[in-house]
A and B are shown apart, each in its own frame.
Chain A
Amino acid sequence: MTLVGTTPRGTTPPPRLPVREKSTARHRAGTGLSPMLTRLAAERATGVLERERGSLYLAEGRVVHAESPYAPGLDVLLLTHGTLDPTVWREAVERADQEYGAARLLLDAGRIPRGALELCHLGALYDAAYFALAPSSAPGRFVYGAGHWLGALRPVPVDALERETLRRRELLERLWPDPLADGAPLLRSEAVAAPAATARQNAVLALVNGVRTASDIARELGRQAFHTLVDVRRLAAAGLLSALLPPPPPVAPAAPDPPRGIPMPRVNDPDITLLKRLRDALEAL
Chain B
Amino acid sequence: MPGIDECLLEAMRLPGARGAALVDWTSGLALGSVGEFPGGDHEVAAAEAAEVARLTAEQRAFTPDHGEDDRADPPVEDLIISNRDSYHLLRFVPTSFDSSVFLHVWLGRSDGNLALARIRLGEMAGRLVLG
Contact string, B62-78, partner A, CB cutoff 8 A, digits 1/0? 00000000100101000
Contacting residue for B130 out of A107, A113, A126, A196, CB 8 A: A113
Q: Are A126 and B101 in contact (CB under 8 A)?
A: no
Contacting residue for B1 out of A82, A115, A171, CB 8 A: A115
Q: Which of B60-103 contact A (CB under 8 A)?
A: 60, 70, 73, 75, 95-101
Residues of A within 8 A of B (CB): 3, 20, 77-78, 80-83, 107, 110, 112-116, 118-120, 122-123, 126, 154, 163-164, 167-168, 171, 196, 198-200, 202, 221-224, 226-227, 230
- Kindly state the separation between the CA atoms of A115 and B128 in the bound complex, as whole angstroms: 5
| Residues of the A chain whose Cβ atoms lie less than 8 Å from the Cβ of B75 | 199
Q: A115-B3, A116-B128 are in contact. Are A81 and B96 (CB under 8 A)?
A: yes
Q: Give A113 Cβ to nearest chain B Cβ, in Å.
A: 3
Identify which of B11-19, B21-29, B104-112, B114-122 touches chain A: B21-29
Within 8 Å of chain A (Cβ to Cβ): is B47?
Answer: yes
| Residues of the A chain whose Cβ atoms lie less than 8 Å from the Cβ of B98 | 77, 80-81, 221-224, 227
Q: Are B2 and A115 in contact (CB under 8 A)?
A: yes
Q: Give A219 Cβ to nearest chain B Cβ, in Å.
A: 11
Residue of A114, A120, A164 with most partner-chain B CB within 10 A: A114
- Kindly state the separation between the CA atoms of A202 and B131 in the bound complex, as whole angstroms: 31
Chain A, Cβ-Cβ closest to B124: A115
Q: Are B26 and A116 in contact (CB under 8 A)?
A: no
Q: A115-B127, A119-B4, A119-B129 are in contact. Are A171 and B28 (CB under 8 A)?
A: yes
Q: Give B39 Cβ to nearest chain A Cβ, in Å.
A: 11
| Residues of the A chain whose Cβ atoms lie less than 8 Å from the Cβ of B48 | none
Within 8 Å of chain A (Cβ to Cβ): is B31?
Answer: yes
Residues of B within 8 A of A (CB): 1-4, 7, 22, 24, 26-29, 31, 40, 43-44, 47, 58, 60, 70, 73, 75, 95-101, 127-131
Q: Are A167 and B28 in contact (CB under 8 A)?
A: yes
Q: Are A123 and B99 in contact (CB under 8 A)?
A: yes
Contacting residue for B97 out of A80, A122, A126, CB 8 A: A80
Contacting residue for B96 out of A82, A221, A226, CB 8 A: A82
Q: A118-B3, A230-B27 are in contact. Are A78 and B73 (CB under 8 A)?
A: no
Q: Are B1 and A123 in contact (CB under 8 A)?
A: no
Chain A, Cβ-Cβ closest to B73: A199
Contacting residue for B4 out of A20, A118, A163, A222, CB 8 A: A118
